[in-house]
């Protein structure tokens, strides 16, 4: 089984860029590497629904509780579990652009205090124990101020999962501040 690295951070922090750069660097160094990106919008049954969610088709973010949303993201990784193990078994290094940490940060940002702590513990049990997705050996969090994130997101190319300039998460700078806060808390732990 290979070494598993997950790259996390708020929108526009460079996760995709760094995933591709690391993948290319290690391949050129002779290491058998593989990569995966979550969500897998057009590739999985649940990924397509996540695209619809991020396009705002299920309602506004503040009207949707984090538990069903986190279950959708976790279920998409469960749907991709065989592929993750296949990539782990077929390479020496697997790099993931987003993983379970994104579920912690994006859904946890909507809760505070004890409720957030209990929720994060619940996600951990759901993803790693109930759904049995593998834990990464290393999680790299790319830190970026939310204001810079908004500028970078505005420069992104059109995405196939939304007709909007920004998706449901990217459009709310205060929300991204909360996501960054959770990522930094997780780094401390």
**pLDDT tens digits, 135-186:** 999 999 999 887 776 676 655 555 455 555 455 455 567 788 889 999 999 9
Query: For domain 3-188, is the CATH number 3.40.50.300?
Result: yes
- The domains of the chain are located at 3-188
- β-pairing, 3-9 vs 93-97, is parallel
What pLDDT score was predicted for residue 82? 97
What pLDDT score was predicted for residue 157? 54
pTM value is 0.87
CA contacts within 13 A on the Cβ side of 105 = 27
Separation of alpha carbons 142 and 64, rounded Å: 27
What pLDDT score was predicted for residue 164? 55
Query: Does residue 44 contact residue 79 with C-beta atoms inside 8 Å?
Result: yes
What pLDDT score was predicted for residue 91? 95
Burial of 81 per CB tally in 10 Å (0-12, 13-18, 19+): middle
What pLDDT score was predicted for residue 146? 76
Separation of alpha carbons 97 and 109, rounded Å: 20
Separation of alpha carbons 189 and 187, rounded Å: 5
């Amino acid at each position: 089984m290979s070494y598993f690295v997950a790259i996390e951070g708020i929108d526009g922090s460079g996760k995709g860029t760094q995933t591709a750069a690391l993948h290319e660097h290690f391949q050129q160094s002779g290491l058998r590497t593989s990569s995966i990106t979550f969500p897998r919008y057009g590739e999985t049954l649940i990924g397509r629904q996540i695209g619809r969610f991020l396009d705002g088709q299920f309602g506004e973010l503040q009207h949707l509780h984090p538990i069903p949303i986190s279950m959708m993201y976790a279920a998409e990784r469960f749907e991709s579990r065989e592929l993750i193990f296949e990539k782990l078994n077929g390479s020496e290094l697997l790099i993931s652009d987003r993983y379970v940490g994104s579920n912690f940060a994006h859904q946890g940002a909507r809760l505070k205090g004890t409720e957030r702590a209990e929720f994060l513990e619940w996600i951990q049990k759901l993803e790693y124990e109930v759904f049995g997705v593998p834990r990464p050996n290393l999680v790299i969090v790319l830190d970026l101020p939310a204001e810079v994130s908004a500028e970078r997101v505005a420069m992104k190319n059109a995405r196939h999962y939304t007709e909007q300039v920004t998706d449901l998460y990217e459009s709310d700078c205060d929300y991204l501040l909360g996501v960054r806060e959770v990522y930094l808390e997780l780094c401390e732990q």
